[in-house]
Amino acid sequence: MTEKRYIHTIGVADTAMTLAEQVGIDPGKAELAGLLHDICKYADMEWMAKQIKDHELNPDLLDFHHELWHGPVGSIVAKEEFGIHDDDVLNAIYYHTSGRAGMSALEKVIYVADMIEPSRNFPKVEKLREFAAQDLDLAMKYGVRHTLQHLLKQKQTVYPDSLMCYNDCWR
């Protein structure tokens, strides 16, 4: 793990604990999911594609940008290599990049913490931090919107779970 990724990971774990306390969920679970959320961030793409196939994950993942793969594959590694069997923790790792409709509080905490941890620096991150301090769902709404705007600006395809997450947040 690079120093930059280490700083990011610790930042996500710390931010996740703070957000978890705000919304009344177990900060220990948030810390664990935060520490493991990027466990496969730098994994070999061919190996990740094989894991997606071998573990019968949604094959549509392979049709989208490989940046999406590290969450789902990371949840496999968390379970198989680290013995994590808490479905909420595993789902928080799995969906921290794409989001999905019907996210649990922990899933939202990790999604938002990944966007706003202290080393993140992009336009409007301070506004997202303000939203997160007020209301996790508000931070989700604007965080997902920011992500979709970024993908569209980059002319990248949008994974269906991300669109469903956006729609769910704005209903």
pLDDT number for residue 76: 98
Distance CA 80, CA 63 (A): 25
Segments forming the whole domain that contains residue 93: 3-169
pLDDT number for residue 123: 87
Query: Which CATH number goes with the domain that contains 30?
Result: 1.10.3210.10
pLDDT number for residue 36: 98
Q: Tell me: the pLDDT tens digits for 80-101?
A: 999 999 999 999 999 999 999 9
pLDDT number for residue 115: 97
Q: Tell me: the pLDDT tens digits for 30-60?
A: 999 999 999 999 999 999 999 999 999 999 9
Distance CA 113, CA 125 (A): 11
Q: Tell me: the pLDDT tens digits for 99-158?
A: 999 999 999 999 999 999 999 998 899 999 999 999 999 999 999 999 999 999 999 999
**Residue 70 φ then ψ, to 5°:** -65, -25
pLDDT number for residue 85: 98
- Picking from 4, 20, 10, the residue whose alpha carbon sits closest to that of residue 89 is 20
pLDDT number for residue 164: 97
Angle in degrees, CA 81, 21, 115, rounded to 5: 65
Instruction: List Cβ<8 Å contacts ≥24 apart for 152-158.
Output: 156/65, 157/63, 157/64, 157/65
State how many domains the chain has: 1
